[in-house]
Amino acid sequence: MQKDLLKLLDLSTEDILLILDTADRLKAERKAGKPHDFPPGKTLAMIFSKSSTRTRVSFETGIYQLGGQGVFLSNADSQLGRGEPVKDTARVLSRYCDCIMIRTYEQAEVEELAQYSSVPVINGLTDFAHPCQVLSDIMTIREYKGRLHGLKACFIGDGNNVANSMIVGCLKCGMDVSIASPEGYRPDKRVLDFASGVAGCKFELTDSPAAAAVGADVIFTDVWASMGQESEAEKRRIAFKGFHVDDGIMALANPECMIQHCLPAHKGEEISEKVFEEHAQEIFDEAENRLHAQKAIMYLLMSR
């Protein structure tokens, strides 16, 4: 493992599998009531430029379950919100805390924070990447399917941060990947360049949800307008017409196809209420696994 978790592009397949194996172990220990072998007294600084339910609760609960403490900092609570340079915040928090998690907009802000921090930095979400979410997704897929290599993962919708990380994570775990996004809403070029160079896995980019869904073992989707894109909601509703996971799409996938949704869901837009509820167990297992995967990340980065 590297010092930081900034994006899945930085991780090897072995790094990803180490996180998954550690998450499985920590989850089993928690279910059995066994204590975790984690150094006591660790502190996690949690910086939130974007509000959250799952990210905040899972990280704060996770560090507590490991035997440490989380410190919540919103823009209103910190000098970052008043214009303090990121590099100065990094150098200060490094002297107080053992790890920094940040949920923000620009990937460059996370990269700069890590550059100047002497303690590990975890990307809780940026507009480019959502590594913790996709590690949780892959963990869930492996729980349900018993394997990753050779499965087909499909993403239908906006080529956003979740799609970017899903492409990288699934390909690095030996899965075939198909992406259906409308023109103008494709995944990041850096990710597409990576995908085109992966040997041994199939990668498909199309504007046809039906074509992408054929033979899928797991279908991912996300809202059409993410946080900060509310002003584009109507424009996106038009652009994403037909990019909807419903019974017709599920009929094209493999019979035991799973659904993964990072939540919150806009039922009736990117996914039908019927399909969501039929796959709710998988989706909320996925949400729970945010806790276990992030505990694994903290365990690996903070136990050194």
DSSP per-residue string spanning 133-186: HHHHHHHHHHHHHS--TT-EEEEES--SHHHHHHHHHHHHTT-EEEEE--TT-P
Lowest mean pLDDT among 73-87, 95-109, 206-220, 282-296: 73-87
Identify which has the larger pLDDT, 121 or 80. 121
Give the burial class of 153: count Cβ atoms within 10 A of its Cβ; 0-12 exposed, 13-18 middle, 19 or more buried.
Answer: buried
> Residue 136: which pLDDT band, with cuts at 50, 70 and 90?
very high
Domains and their CATH numbers in the chain: 8-130+290-302 (3.40.50.1370), 133-286 (3.40.50.1370)
* Cα distance between residue 201 and residue 151, in whole Å: 10
- Neighbouring residues of 197: CB distance < 8 A, sequence distance ≥ 6: none
* β-strand partners of 219: 154, 259
Helix-strand-coil percent breakdown of the chain, rounded to 5? Answer: 50, 15, 35
38 backbone φψ class: left, alpha, beta (φ>0; ψ -120 to 50)? beta
pLDDT in tens, 247-303: 999 999 999 999 999 999 999 999 999 999 999 999 999 999 999 999 999 999 999
For the chain, state the CA radius of gyration: 19
Catalytic residues: 103, 130, 133, 222, 262, 290
Q: Which helix (H) or strand (E) holds 103?
A: strand 99-103
* Cα distance between residue 172 and residue 203, in whole Å: 12
The half-sphere exposure of 238 on its side-chain side, counting CA atoms within 13 A, is: 4
Average pLDDT over residues 74-94: 90
Tell me the percentage of the chain whose pLDDT exceeds 70. Answer: 100
SS3 45: strand
Task: Give the pLDDT confidence score for residue 234 in this predicted structure.
Answer: 86
* β-strand partners of 43: 69
Contact 109, 126 (CB under 8 A): yes
* Cα distance between residue 28 and residue 36, in whole Å: 10
> Residue 227: which pLDDT band, with cuts at 50, 70 and 90?
low
Joined tokens for residue 94: 């490094």
